[in-house]
Amino acid sequence: MHKFDVVVIGAGAAGLFCAGIAGQRGLKVLVIDHSEKVAEKIRISGGGRANFTNKDVTPANFLSDNPHFCRSALSRYTPKDFTALMTRHGISFHEKHKGQLFCDRSAEDLITMLLAECATGNVTRWQPCSVKNIAFSASGAGSYTIDSSHGQINTPQIVVATGGLSIPKIGATDFGYRLAQQFGLRMVAPRPALVPLTFDNEAWAPYAHLSGLALPVQIEVGAKKTKTAFLEDLLFTHRGLSGPAVLQISSYWIEGTPIRLNLAPEVDLPPALARAKATSRKLIANELAQLVPSRLADAWAGQDPAWQKPIGDATDKALAQLAEKLARWELTPNGSEGYKKAEVTAGGVDTRDVSSQTMESKQPGLYFIGEVVDVTGWLGGYNFQWAWASGFACGQALSLSSPSPYAPN
Ligand code: FDA
């Protein structure tokens, strides 16, 4: 029987980070992962450069059934703490759009750093290693017996860092959710988030030829108090809509409800079209192409015979309707591209059953960190920041077996 102070299941962002912190505190840590490689999602993130955090992180950048849950961990481990760690490891980075921080060279640098942090501590890693069964014995202080492909392990503490369901082909599983349910913890139903949205073929046919077109838009769902809006880039695809605008809103979109788009958020269309009507003899599509991308202008003007004429001949009503159709395009997706394309999984282990201070669940000694928990960040580095912050809170809270032969002098 192998004995460890803590077993971390999942060698991804949260698991490796937490293991390094616990190992450096003197705990004897085992990390196991069923994949051969560590941290595949870090490797493929941010186009290979990992958008590893965001300069401006607040709880408002996260979705959860309990929006306050993430506050404590996020305040105790900030983006500045993580960038300071990167600087200590000599990893340079740069800011892109809206506070998003990326590695200058490669996401591999981040993985090397996480492994180096583990190597500084007392961390053993078994990969590939699968978990067949976990049993809890309440006798004494309580301990777990893990039946793994490397043999039986005894430990008083388990950290579940197995992530969500997105991208199954690189190792995502529902392990964490099943384990939570095995120990009677509640779940918030998982769903794909940060994902492209799709439309039924017939409804999408008039727009399919716009595939590849990208433009800034305002996108929103909901109404009044539930309204959520983003100003971001939209991308037309063969099957529907993608790009940062749609990925962001997809996390808030409820099946069967519409999304609304302003395709010209930076232009006040009615006066712009009225001015053109007074001075121009060009076709409406050509005038519109001064205000929005020309492919979009052609496609929109082509939708109604009243818009296929010189702008000087158009009625005020027709121009008002054209402006309205561009500024308030409402359409209802029939679904999303699903876990195959989703960057994250919303929902997960219900935070009502997890401590926001330590990430320990109501099941003694069983901790949940990272994406497996019902905390989902916006696009822009927020999900990695949650992995670091929740991993830190947990890594600090795990207890040393006393007396531990591994504690530093
Ligand atoms: P993570 O998924 O990183 O790790 C889970 C680990 O558990 C994996 O190593 C897996 O193999 C292992 N595991 C699963 N089941 C297991 C089992 N049954 N037994 C043993 N091990 C098991 N976020 C961000 O902030 N900035 C970005 O740029 C991006 N970009 C991005 C691109 C793409 C394509 C995707 C899919 C995702 C992103 N993300 C992102 C999201 C980010 O990658 C994600 O939120 C974090 O990796 C979550 O960290 P975790 O450690 O919780 O899970």
Pairing of strands 29-32, 6-9: parallel
pTM of the model: 0.95
292-327 pLDDT per residue, tens: 999 999 999 999 999 999 999 999 999 999 999 999
- Find how far residue 318's CA is from the centre of its chain: 42
Question: How many other CB atoms sit within 10 Å of the CB of residue 107?
Answer: 22
Range 285-292 average pLDDT? 96
**Rounded-to-integer distance, Cα 30 and Cα 396, Å:** 16
Average predicted confidence (pLDDT) for the chain: 95
For residue 171, the ligand 1 atom closest to its alpha carbon is: 11
pLDDT over 90 for what percent of the chain?
A: 93
Cα–Cα distance list, 75 to 78, 155, 373, 390, 399 (Å): 6, 30, 18, 10, 22
Poorest-pLDDT segment among 9-23, 71-85, 132-146, 209-223? 132-146
For residue 382, the ligand 1 atom closest to its alpha carbon is: 25
128: preceding bond cis by omega (within 30 degrees): yes
Degrees, nearest 5: CA angle 174-180-183: 140
Cα–Cα distance list, 408 to 27, 28, 117, 213, 398 (Å): 9, 11, 15, 58, 16
330 phi and psi angles, rounded to 5 deg:
-110, 130
pLDDT at 67: 96
Pull the structure tokens for residue 293. Answer: 């991308």
Range 155-175 average pLDDT? 96
Burial of 301 (0-12, 13-18, 19+ CB in 10 A): buried
Q: How confident is the model at residue 140 (pLDDT cuts 50, 70, 90)?
A: confident
336-394 pLDDT per residue, tens: 999 999 999 999 999 999 999 999 999 999 999 999 999 999 999 999 999 999 999 99
Higher pLDDT, 403 or 400: 400
Residue 400 predicted with pLDDT over 90:
no
Q: How confident is the model at residue 138 (pLDDT cuts 50, 70, 90)?
A: confident
pLDDT over 70 for what percent of the chain?
A: 98
**Rounded-to-integer distance, Cα 207 and Cα 85, Å:** 47
For residue 371, the ligand 1 atom closest to its alpha carbon is: 52
Which residue among 162, 250, 385, 390 is best mutated to probe the pocket of ligand 1, counting the most ligand atoms within 8 A of its Cβ?
A: 162
**Rounded-to-integer distance, Cα 393 and Cα 374, Å:** 16
Residue 403 predicted with pLDDT over 70:
no
pLDDT at 408: 41
Asked whether 380 lines ligand 1 (CB < 6 A), one says: no
Q: What structural domains and CATH numbers belong to the chain? A: 2-191+344-401 (3.50.50.60), 197-336 (2.40.30.10)
pLDDT at 249: 98
pLDDT at 210: 96
Looking at residue 202, its amino acid is E
Looking at residue 408, its amino acid is P
Residue 409 predicted with pLDDT over 60:
no
Question: How many other CB atoms sit within 10 Å of the CB of residue 351?
Answer: 23
Which residue among 41, 126, 354, 369 is best mutated to probe the pocket of ligand 1, counting the most ligand atoms within 8 A of its Cβ?
A: 41
